[in-house]
Structure 1
Amino acid sequence: MACQSGIRADSEVLSVFEECKQGKLRLAKIVIQKEKLKLSYRSAPTKDWKADWKRDLPGCVDAYEPCFILFMLESPHDWLLISFADDKASSRDKMLLASTKASFKSDFGQSFIHGEYQITSTHELKFDIFERRLNKHKDDESNAMTTIEKELSTASKDRIALPFAMQSTQTLRGVQFPVDQDALACMKRFAAGEIDFVQLSVDTLNEAIKLENQAERLSASDLNSKIPKQRPRYSLFRVRDVEGNPVFFIYSIPPSVGCTIKELMLFSSCKAPFLTEVERCQVKVDKKIEVDTGDKLDTDTLMSYWRPVVQEQKTTFSRPPRPGGGPRRITAASD
């Protein structure tokens, strides 16, 4: 593991990072001064990122001052991270930059970083030279990625591109989509005991959680018929024929061949914030389960989750040693 300097972004630098992610900056140059990260240079974007590059680089860098350069390409989720350390800089400054890089990436957010580059000369920052390096990186990355990896990469970018209020943060886990009015009304009826089954889905196109199905009364034996085999779903189900009428939250997951990776990722990411919304509707969930859509769901299956059978361990006793079979005792012979 590489040695870490322990230098982290303070509130001022974190606010610069937020401006970057909102697309307000084209370039941010961060240096280390007195063992603190500090903004040294910034520039606003125009419509042409190539023209912005030629405007700012390499003019904004100093050969004797190592720095991190954040440069936005065509969208706020495509950033280049350039670690610039010229050979003219002192060894201490270069080592300090290298040992701070991991924490710098973590504070900025690795999912926003499209590519990383190590630059040791201002000459390499000239646009015509760097563009060849950038194009080579894109070709190598495209050839190395499998179809699934490309789809995951696209889904990750789509998630980052969500409206700011719906993005996950360091204090809120997952992606929070709004729940439509029909779904909220049904969940409130469910909380009041008027209906026993509510099913919802994540609308990836409109970025919302919507109502798919409902039933006033539904037996556990008929539950299987309500679970789609090729689409993920959230379901709330009340078991009437069991003491206490326990409420189950069922997250049903189909095989990956039945839906897109993006859809599965969004269902997984939306689950925790959605359960918070369920609680706001006064629905008390007694048991949360995740099942494959091919699994059989009936009373026995639900009860195995609700009251799992505990295997009793048989009490065994150690067998006493046979007469004369214990440890040999040695006594001192008397004279």
Structure 2
Amino acid sequence: MTCQTGIRADSKLLEFFDQCKQCKIRFGKIVINNASLHVNHHLNPSKDWRKDWKKCLPECVDSYEPCFILFRFDSSHDWILISFADDKASVKDKMLLAATKATFKSEFGQSFIHAEYQISNRNDLLLDNFEKNYLNKDLENSAIEDGDESKPLSFVERELSSVAKERANIPFSLHASQTMRGVQFPIDQDAEEKLRSFASGQCDFVQLSVDCLNEAIKLEAHHNVLQDVSQLDNLVPRKKPRYSLFRFKNENLAKGEAIFFIYSIPPSQSCTIKELMLFSSCKGPLIGEIESKSIGINIDKKIEVDSRDKLDKPTLLAYMTPEPSVTIYDASPLNNNQQFERPPRPGGGPRRITKVVE
């Protein structure tokens, strides 16, 4: 699943990027705050990039705050991009960082980024650990591929050469910078009890939501009996994202009933980007958990609705009743011995013979 947040760089951040490309910046830390990118910390360059590194990293990095780190070595355009997301940070913040990375690289300029690193431990940002675990490994791989360890290249040149070769050997289909897997949150105890009641037929409607703060699936509403299908349209909110399970009973159905999984998507201005991302990412794992043996609900139809869609009896029946396919054929039996006539020649009639008069 391809998923991007749509968070872009504002005018201040674009000015900061221009300063970076003019070699006026050594280090920059960019964070996501209130659905926008901000420069949280930066450092002007000195003559020694190692001293600059030790001034900033890892002291300015917070384990609970994922961020992008831009660092420039002594040459002009050898920037490295570090995506820092510690395991202590919340899942939604890490997801937001991962989904914004492709846009961030595009805004900064991918041609200026010669190496990328993914770090999840703050101690790995210590200069000694970073050189040992990341940079030196790139140099060793470069020396093995080149077959000449005494090649007169500088530290940065060998590093960039190694990164370029690694990128060239990776197929396009394996790049996952813009992809994101689903996230599975635990189901709240009350929600799990109502799901089991729904599976046993004791409940006709269950509504779930994602608790963004506690990172869990919780119960929003439930109804044991729904007398009229028209009530469903009022039970599904259109200004907040929700998951709804509904048992649609109708005599026209093959089994007499059908179970719908309804994912209601509100307009983007009605909720935050984080909510939309979490609901979209949790949908697949949640359906898998609902259909698993532990709960045992067999979903017949999965649908997505927005604020303009109606949920009434004709709409649900249309989802469960496929349109008949129209087949045009000749009902007359085919005679295998029938011979096809040669089509007439162009000219509009039989062949004419012109008599020659002597």
TM-score (norm 1): 0.52
Residues 106/205 of structure 1: CA separation in 2 closer, same or farther (3 Å cut): farther
Equivalent AA in structure 2 for residue 327 of structure 1: R
Residues 294/252 of structure 1: CA separation in 2 closer, same or farther (3 Å cut): same
Equivalent AA in structure 1 for residue 259 of structure 2: V
197, 218, 237: which one aligns with 1:210: 218
279, 299, 306: which one aligns with 2:291: 279
Listed one character per residue, the Cα deviations across residues 92-133 of structure 1 (whole Å, up to 9, x for unaligned) are x8655323247499989748xxxxxxxxxxxxxxxxxxxxxx
Residues 65/256 of structure 1: CA separation in 2 closer, same or farther (3 Å cut): same
Offset of residue 300 of structure 1: 1.1
Q: Distance in 2 between matches of 1:316 and 1:32?
A: 73
Equivalent in the alignment of 2:153: 64
Equivalent in the alignment of 2:182: 174
Residues 324/312 of structure 1: CA separation in 2 closer, same or farther (3 Å cut): closer
Listed one character per residue, the Cα deviations across residues 143-200 of structure 1 (whole Å, up to 9, x for unaligned) are xxxxxxxxxxxxx9xxxxxxxxxxx7xxxx3011111000000000000000011000
Q: Distance in 2 between matches of 1:105 and 1:264?
A: 28
Listed one character per residue, the Cα deviations across residues 221-255 of structure 1 (whole Å, up to 9, x for unaligned) are 21101011200100111111243111111111111
Whether the aligned pair in 1 keeps the contact of 2:138 and 2:162 (CA below 8 Å) is no
Whether the aligned pair in 2 keeps the contact of 1:237 and 1:247 (CA below 8 Å) is yes
Structure 1 position 99 matched with structure 2 position 206: no
TM-score (norm 2): 0.49
Residues 210/324 of structure 1: CA separation in 2 closer, same or farther (3 Å cut): closer
Q: Distance in 1 between matches of 2:143 and 2:174?
A: 14
Gaps of 5+ in 1: 1-16, 39-61, 67-83, 112-155, 157-167, 318-322
Whether the aligned pair in 2 keeps the contact of 1:178 and 1:209 (CA below 8 Å) is yes
Structure 1 position 31 matched with structure 2 position 138: yes
Identity of aligned residues (%): 40
Equivalent in the alignment of 1:220: 229
Whether the aligned pair in 1 keeps the contact of 2:207 and 2:242 (CA below 8 Å) is yes
Equivalent in the alignment of 2:14: none
Question: Between Structure 1 and Structure 2, how many residues are aligned?
Answer: 206
Q: Which moved more, 1:95-104 or 1:301-310?
A: 95-104
Gaps of 5+ in 2: 1-115, 146-150, 332-340, 354-358
Structure 1 position 256 matched with structure 2 position 268: yes
Residues 213/108 of structure 1: CA separation in 2 closer, same or farther (3 Å cut): same
Structure number with greater Rg is 2
Listed one character per residue, the Cα deviations across residues 7-40 of structure 1 (whole Å, up to 9, x for unaligned) are xxxxxxxxxx9993243411231315456999xx
Q: Distance in 2 between matches of 1:312 and 1:179?
A: 45
Q: Distance in 1 between matches of 2:230 and 2:300?
A: 20
